[in-house]
Structure 1
Amino acid sequence: MPRGVVAIVGTTGVGKSELGVQLAKALHGEVINGDSMQVYKGLDVITNKMPVEEREGIPHHLMDFLEPHQEYRVTEFTCDAIKIIKEVHSRDRVPIIVGGTHYYIQSLLWKNSLIKSYDDECDNGSEDDGILNAETDILYKRLQEVDPVMANKWHWNDRRKIRRSLQIYLQTGKRHSDWIKEQHQPDEKASSLRFPLTCIFWLYADPKVLDQRLDNRVDKMIKMGLFEELKYLRNKVENVIKLKMLCYALCNNDDSNFWFVWVGYKEFEAYLNALEETPYLDDKVIDAIKESNIEAMKSATRRYSRKQIRWIRNKLLLKCQESNLNDADTDCISKVRVYLLNTTSLEKWNQDVRDVAITIVKEFLDKGTGPDPKSLSPEAKELLDPAIDTNTFDNLKAWTKYQCDICKIFNDNSPVVINGLSNWNQHLQSKWHRSNVKLKKEMNMNWSGQFPPWFKEKKKKS
């Protein structure tokens, strides 16, 4: 087969890992992890790593090799993955990239997916040890001065993204927002597909079915020891502030699965703190906080799955379309195709997912041909057209933040910030928000408007 690659993308909970193993068995392939969180050790439940015994002896690369405190940037992932792909090709095997961190995967498949000054740069380089290592609030104020457009885009506590935008400005002399504006100009959209033949499978499930599947998975994670992993992560760092900085440092642009750890930790932090403050709270209140936190994690996971779909439609599909159009104009032999496979019915997995994927990828890698991607299903016909890119310069300028003061109370007094009017309206209708409104009323009734001492103490510290 030609030296192409296969990538499996999609939201959390759609079976990417399972298909990766099945394709590897059929194609004499090896799996390369494309999930920014599964690179870390000791977080198997939170990251939903496929158990070793279910991998059926298939090699899995870039998995379980870093400690939670270590930073792993997208540039490092790209360089490591390219090296492994070359090694897999040298063994006449097929590299299969599997993961939901679509920013990682897109940066690997295309050379010009990163900011130009960083693309294909594999060494860490020297960094300004002054402003870039300052406190997050100082970084944010500085970013507001030099690039107010990106400052408005990011949450003021999101250290990784703030620092990244500021670093781009300091090291290139050009604002991050200007880079984005230029990259959306026609002459900047030339294809630079790294591998001659790239076959991408997008695993998709009906949102209503997927929501229930994700809720059930959170319940299963709790039974499998989620709280023990959270306590491990909590104790791994000396204090909560340091942990938050760690999580943000590990967080990657718009589509990082370490975001899931961050949300998981943050949403349960109030419950873990309540357990430590038992002299002030009775069991009924602790249980209420726990249930609220569980619902918050489920809600966050569902929102994240929507975010992953938006990335695929806004970014990945658009990039594929641009590549194929540009390559057609230049008689380039490179080709990338995206096939949507419907995983709504797990009972029909072998028929609708596994067998279809094996047939398609064999023909594509052997001959560079295959069925029309839109012909596979009604969902494929509807969804395989790129959506509007929400990260254009004009959209960045119009970005609006909203803050929920009610949910802040049950979020360890940390700000709950929602980006965009659509997300804000969804938040107001979410079970988490509505349950917090109800819980706040109950707390006001029980304590005459006075919250427990641990809430007061947290508020004082903040």
Structure 2
Amino acid sequence: MLAEHDESTEIKAEALQDRKQPLLVLIGPTAVGKTALSLNLAKTWNAEIISGDSMQVYKGMDIGTAKIKEEDREGIPHHLIDICELDEAYSAADFQAGASDTIQSIAAKGKLPFIVGGTGLYVESLCYNYQFADQGSDELFRSEMETFAIEHGVEALHQKLANIDPPAAERLHPNDQRRVIRALEVYHMTGQTFTEQQAGQKKESPYNLCIIGLTMDRADLYRRIEERIDLMLEEGLVAEVERVLQHNLPSNSVPMQALGYKEIADYLRGECSYEAAVERLKRDTRRFAKRQLSWFRHMKDIHWFDTGQNFNNNLTEIHGIIAGKFQDHLEYTSNQSF
């Protein structure tokens, strides 16, 4: 009788899952190959892409964020790109709300919503409907932390977080001053760390999720990162950062703390040589990729694939996983000959 009950419960759970809105998700570190695969999957599964990148929302930050060009999108709609001015704040809660609305809009057209990105908190908060508690703010504390960062450096500020919440510090780059200060502020106001708050979240998704994760041999990934940065520089990253600097944004603003912009801005201000700025950018991007992988490794329900030499074999398997997951929603597919 117990076995029959367990089987019945499983069937009911699967039926409930099938009634949820299907959501395809593609994650992985920077430079691993998400963009190329996303176009392949979107065309096959009649999907529209929602960017899960915290920096691609900003207008004028194109090269440094590896934003896909309009002419390279192959006619596939991309959402949550270029929706903010440089002086606007944009948070994980903002992303969750905007992406949720966009998912419903895409589904209403009979298409498959498809999240593609590498900002772990953004993607995870959407997939599992994190509840962002309103703890308020302490402007005096923020000001104190900003002053501390100016006087002692962002690494010292980051160490403060590492002392109270090592997992959060591992996931947040020292340059991400705004989020580091917010994590410190939450602990200051509640006595609870950001990691403890995350652990308390109910990890049940409102969506019928299919999450594909991309990884790569570490040495190959680092080589691709360095090649991508060299290409960004050839395409005009320095000039792009110059244009961003013309907006006279505060040094602790999101664009000024963004990977690629902070390092090149230091060079343009005469604080370091061009060679030193590029080397620091490559180093920081390698560290960022490591943090991305660390974040995603803590997520559940991910089908991981290596984008190395035999990726064509993996591609067939990826399509098979999607077909199996969304078998009751095959109206989404536009071309299933994979």
Q: TM-score higher than 0.5 here?
A: yes
Corresponding residue for 1:193? 205
Contact preservation (8 Å) 1:109, 1:194: yes
Residue in 1 that maps onto 2:307: 343
For residues 28 and 131 of structure 1, the distance between their equivalents in structure 2, rounded to whole angstroms, comes to 48
Which residue of the partner structure matches residue 265 of structure 1?
261
Residue in structure 1 matching 2:316, options 336, 349, 355: 355
| Mapped pair 1:109 → 2:127 | yes
Query: 1:263-342 to 2 correspondence within 5 Å?
Result: 264-274=260-270, 289-313=273-297, 315-316=298-299, 320=300, 337-342=301-306
Q: Any idea what SS the aligned residue of 2:68 has?
A: coil
SS in 2 for 1:30: strand
* Code of the aligned partner of 2:268: L
TM-score (normalised: structure 2): 0.77
Checking the alignment, whether the CA contact within 8 Å between 1:165 and 1:175 is kept in structure 2 is: no
Residues 1:206 and 2:222 are matched in the alignment: no
Confirm or deny: 8 A CA contact 2:25 2:210 kept in the other structure: yes
Work out which of the residue numbers 151, 158, 164 in structure 2 matches 1:149. Answer: 164
| Residue in structure 2 matched with residue 22 of structure 1 by the alignment | 40
- Contact 1:136/1:157 (8 A) holds in 2: no
C-alpha change, 1:101 and 1:341, in structure 2 (3 Å) is same
Question: 2: CA distance between counterparts of 1:97 and 1:162?
Answer: 25
| Structure 1 unpaired stretches of 5+ | 119-124, 251-257, 278-285, 321-336, 369-462
The residue that corresponds to 1:226 in the other structure is 237
1:63 positional shift: 0.5
Partner of 2:332: none
Q: Please list the CA deviations of residues 297-347 of structure 1 after superposition, one character each: whole Å capped at 9, or x if unmatched.
A: 11111111111111111x21xxx2xxxxxxxxxxxxxxxx321122123xx
Q: How does 1:38-53 map to 2 (within 5 A)?
A: 38-53=56-71
Q: Mean Cα displacement is larger for which, 149-158 or 207-216?
A: 149-158
* Distance in 2 of aligned mates of 1:232 and 1:76: 26
Which digits, 9 at most, give the CA deviation of each residue in 1:164-190, with x for residues without a partner? 2354357xx52232x644764xxx465
Using the alignment, how far apart are the partners of 1:265 and 1:22 within structure 2?
A: 30
Q: Spell out the pairing of 1:149-188 with structure 2 (5 A cutoff).
A: 149-150=164-165, 159-165=177-183, 167-168=185-186, 174-177=190-193, 180-181=195-196, 184=199, 188=200
What's 2:75 paired with?
57
- Kindly, what percent of the aligned residue pairs are identical? 29
Q: Is the 8 A contact 1:11 1:203 kept in 2?
A: yes
Distance change >3 Å, CA 148–CA 48, structure 1 → 2: closer
- Amino acid across the alignment from 2:236: G
Q: Which residue of 1 aligns with 2:13?
A: none
The answer as to whether partners of 1:30 and 1:95 remain within 8 angstroms in 2 is yes
Q: Deviations over 1:110-143 (max 9, x none)?
A: 124x55x24xxxxxx9755555456613799xxx
What SS does the corresponding residue of 2:114 show, helix, strand or coil?
A: strand
- Bigger relative contact order, structure 1 or 2, given CA contacts below 8 A and separation 6+? 2
Aligned to 2:81, the other structure's residue is in SS state: coil
* C-alpha contact 2:45 2:112 (8 A) present in aligned 1: yes
Q: 1:23·1:354 contact (CA, 8 Å) conserved in 2?
A: no
How far residue 37 of structure 1 moved from its aligned partner, in angstroms, is 0.7
For 1:133 and 1:88, the matched residues in 2 are separated by 41
Q: What is the CA–CA distance in structure 1 between the aligned matches of 2:163 and 2:227, rounded to whole Å?
A: 41
Cα RMSD, aligned residues only:
3.6
- In structure 1, the residue matched to 2:253 is 246
Cα deviation per residue 1:4-43 (whole Å; 9 max; x = unaligned)? 1010000101121222221111111110010001111111
- Aligned counterparts of 1:150 and 1:367: Cα–Cα separation in 2: 43
Aligned residues: 303
- Is the partner of 1:89 in helix, strand or coil? helix
Output the amino acid matched with 1:227. V
1:239-262 deviation per Cα after TM superposition (whole angstroms, max 9, x unaligned): xxx2x2113xx6xxxxxxx86x34
Which protein has the larger Cα radius of gyration, Structure 1 or Structure 2? 1
For 1:196-246, what per-residue CA distance to the aligned partner results, in whole angstroms no more than 9, with x for missing partners? Answer: x211111111111111111111111111001101111222216xxx2x211
CA drift at 1:267: 2.5
